[in-house]
Copies of this chain bind each other. A is one copy, B any other.
Amino acid sequence: MPDDRKKLTIYQIAELSGVSVSTISRVINNSPYVSARTKARVTDIINKHNFSPSSLARAMTSNHTKTLGVIVSDITNPYFSELYLEIQRYAVDLGYSIILCNTFYGGSNHGVSDAIPENTYFQMILDKQVDGVLILGGEIDRDHISDAYKEALNRMGKQIPVVILGESVPDCNCIFLNRNLSGGIPALIHHLLALGRRKIGFVGGEEGIRTTTARLTAYTQTLKNLGISFDSSLISLSNYYAPDGYRAMAKLLEQPETTPTAIICMNDAVAQGAIRAINDKGLSVPKDISVASCDQFPSGEYTSPRLTTLDQQNSYLGRMSIMTLINAINNDSEGISISHQPRLIIRESCGAHLGIQFQQ
């Protein structure tokens, strides 16, 4: 039984096989320039000793590491973890490993306040010589990104392919995949109107974040277009998690005049928090207030009531992101354009299943 306590090198295999390192290299790289006899013998010895070449040494000459960097703001957020799953699945199929970097930026923070500066990760990842970088959320999602951040992005983008699932930033050496952030909002509003609701609020999300801004704009615009009287006191922002939804909704419920008959939440976590706040006030969903959400989480199907929400098609977005990155790495400049239409999922939280007309 061979000693596998330490990794063997190509030189030791050469020694054991009685051939040169060049020949071993040829065998492990499936070069045609080896005789069948030699190849068989060497393969045998390789298997017996469980040898596999050091990817480190390989990377030294080949200049690629078969490693990708994925920078994400909060992996505990179902939106990101679902994206990640799809990304990793595809990457592993193609032989890539993923260095995951959680920045905690704008995340739930879980009791800890200090986010890790994304620049720190940029450097870390660059030093590891990854073949490409994928950025999901974080500073890039702000309406206005800082010069320092942009400069860091630029520097990174000059060295390796950087794909960003987010809205384009001018003069940035990165590939942007623009999502359809506000798609589905009009459908959501029409759904609520059809049920009789007219006093529609907006709950959750954070000021200055792209997703929030885009949806908020779509929301106000749609209402305006329909000639619905609209009051900014029905908007209550905070953040993207259940506690935020609770807090934001509780604020709306403080005064009768700001209490809506329906709300649109940023995502299912926010919606769940909002529903709790409504229940704690002794009101009921959907009887007193209809609740809709913009971003479907797996849990939304099991809340009470089940959430009417938008499916943002995360798997599709994840797959497009990783495909774009790998194409960029392989210089297949064949641009990928993404087009996804968030799909309305009608369940119970707006009251459609009751088949009645609600009060306005």
A residues at B contact (CB < 8 Å)? 4-7, 50, 52-57, 59-60, 65, 67, 75-76, 78, 81-82, 84-85, 88-89, 92, 97-102, 104, 108, 110, 112, 116, 120, 123-129, 155, 158-159, 241-243, 245-246, 269, 272-273, 275-276, 279, 298-299, 301-304, 306, 315
User: 12 extra interchain contacts, Cβ-Cβ under 8 A, other than A55-B128, A242-B299?
Assistant: A4-B158, A52-B127, A54-B127, A56-B59, A57-B60, A75-B81, A76-B298, A88-B100, A97-B101, A110-B315, A272-B302, A303-B303
Q: How many copies of the polypeptide does the oligomer hold?
A: 2
Determine whether the beta carbon of A158 is less than 8 Å from that of B5.
Answer: yes
Given that A5-B159, A7-B159, A276-B302 are known contacts, is A52 also in contact with B126, CB under 8 Å in the complex? yes
Determine whether the beta carbon of B60 is less than 8 Å from that of A302.
Answer: no
Given that A55-B129, A81-B75 are known contacts, is A273 also in contact with B298, CB under 8 Å in the complex? no
Cross-interface CB contact of A99 among B50, B85, B97, B110, cutoff 8 Å: B97
Q: How far is the CA of A85 from the CA of B81 in the complex (A)?
A: 12
Using Cβ atoms and an 8 Å threshold, which residues of chain B touch A306? Answer: 276
Using Cβ atoms and an 8 Å threshold, which residues of chain B touch A92? Answer: 101, 116, 120, 124
Determine whether the beta carbon of B304 is less than 8 Å from that of A275.
Answer: yes
Q: How far is the CA of A243 from the CA of B302 in the complex (A)?
A: 8
Main secondary structure of the interface of A (DSSP, over half): helix
Q: A101 → chain B, closest Cβ, in Å?
A: 8
Determine whether the beta carbon of A98 is less than 8 Å from that of B97.
Answer: no
Q: How far is the CA of A15 from the CA of B141 in the complex (A)?
A: 41
Determine whether the beta carbon of B54 is less than 8 Å from that of A129.
Answer: yes
Using Cβ atoms and an 8 Å threshold, which residues of chain B touch A128? Answer: 55-56, 67, 97
Q: A279 → chain B, closest Cβ, in Å?
A: 6
Q: A103 → chain B, closest Cβ, in Å?
A: 10
Which single residue of chain B is at the shortest CB-CB distance from A155?
Answer: B4
Which single residue of chain B is at the shortest CB-CB distance from A109?
Answer: B85
